[in-house]
Chain A
Amino acid sequence: MQKRPILLSILDAASIIVLAVSTYLALVFAPTEAVMGQVQRVFYFHIGTAWVGLLGFVIAAVAGIAYLITKNTRWDRFEVAAVEVSTVFFFITIVLGSIWARPAWNTWWTWDPRLTTAAITELIYIAYFMLRQGIEDPEKRARFGAVYTLLGGISAPITFMVIRLFRTIHPVIIGSANANQEKMSMTGDMKVAFFFGLFAFTVIFIDLIWHRIRLGSLEEKVEQLKLKVSM
């Protein structure tokens, strides 16, 4: 196995530090929200994980296109890493949202368009892993995976259009809200915690993807060795 690059080790350490700082900013530094109280603090991580979750899905679609064009397995490993890490982050987003929704909306889950489409997006990427599992030939697996991430990447944006198309009770953070939608307004300290949260999760996201890509190349090696033994 290749030796772990120094940059990766630095990134590991940086991830732990920014996560700790971000936790401090969210739980202690940011002022308590006037209406929602302490539970609003979940929002800093909710946005952070949502951001990297969706970023990963977009990256995966781009990597999928790159694979279809170049047929280089490196892109396939990148795509798998992005989807896998993002699926976990997106799941965390949904769980954190649920925790916030319990006191705010008085329910863990409601069939609001935004929540429904988020659940569908998550299911698309779970289906992606089921598709890959069902194919033995690595080359075909990569090809089909790329096509499916592309389709998923097209279907997912509806998650964001839906908030403007249909009436929803989910608060709007970025962009302008309709008159009947809740708009969150943040004070300066809240903004610090908010943007640092975005930054922290981006660092962690890159770190995890890097590890997953390295794991992917090991997996490939194991697969090749297995083939050699069986022959």
Chain B
Amino acid sequence: MNSKSEGRMQKAESGHPSFFKATLAIIQKDLAAEFRSFELISAMLVFSLLVIIIFNFALELDVKVRESVTSGVLWTTFAFAGTLGLNRSMSVEKDRGCMDGLLLAPVDRSVIYFGKAISNLIFMLIVEAIVLPVYSLLYNVNLFRLDLVGVILLGSIGYAAVGTLLSTMSAQTRTREVLLPILLFPVAMPVLLSSVKASGGLLIGAEFAEILAPLNLLIVYDIIFVAIAFMVFDYVVEE
């Protein structure tokens, strides 16, 4: 609702909302809806903590094991929590008919994509911003490092970029929520793989040259996924 009225307001002002303004309007709508209920973020957050606790039992995360598996545990947690958020943010649009409203708005379809992708990214980043200090506290490792945060940001961008596209697709299928992780995990594997490698390398204090290869791969796939999703999003929301 919010987005429609805002879209209309902007249209009244300038005839046609600019790309940037329209994207911002969609992000604002998502954030406003979320900050009223905290449905999505609280679910993702509690889920993330549960995953970490399960890992604690499953892997017996003592000091020695922890050093080598921290990045894997973190990225598994982010990926699982990410699908939860992606599913929810898209099915809300679909169930309440908001998607039709968005499609009727006099804006380019890619605006909808970027709006949704960026708000999904923001939700992921908020969850990560809470999980990192909690993990640091629980396991007595310092994860507050600028380079690690950078890798996590890059990984989340790629994940949200391809995840938003695929969740738009899975929301329109019969199996819906069940299908998203099956579609998303194998395709997003280059991003996840290189993120785990890069952050794992940072955590054990490897040399920069060793981290460079996965980091390059991560950046390349970020760009590819954003570009492809941008190009094909039209076909995914077409009615």
Contact = CB atoms under 8 A, between A and B. Distances in A.
B183 A155 contact: no
Contact of A151 (B162, B173, B217): B162
Interface string A113-126: 00001001101100
B189 A131 contact: no
Interface in B70-115: none
A158 B189 contact: yes
Interface string B161-182: 0100110011011111001001
Chain B residues touching A, range: 20 to 34
Interface of B is mostly: helix
Interface residues of A, number: 27
A87 to B, nearest CB: 13
Nearest to A123: B186
Contacts, number: 75
A121 B197 CA distance: 19
B186 A143 contact: no
A147 B169 contact: yes
B173 A134 contact: yes
B186 A150 contact: no
Contact of B228 (A131, A140, A150): A150
Given A130-B182, A158-B217, 18 more contacts: A68-B235, A127-B183, A130-B175, A130-B179, A130-B183, A131-B169, A131-B173, A143-B236, A143-B238, A147-B236, A150-B228, A151-B187, A152-B187, A155-B186, A155-B187, A155-B188, A155-B190, A165-B217
Interface of A: 68, 117, 120-121, 123-124, 127, 130-131, 134-136, 140, 143-144, 146-148, 150-152, 154-155, 158, 161, 165-166
Interface of B: 162, 165-166, 169-170, 172-176, 179, 182-183, 186-190, 193, 197, 213-214, 217, 224-225, 228, 232, 235-236, 238
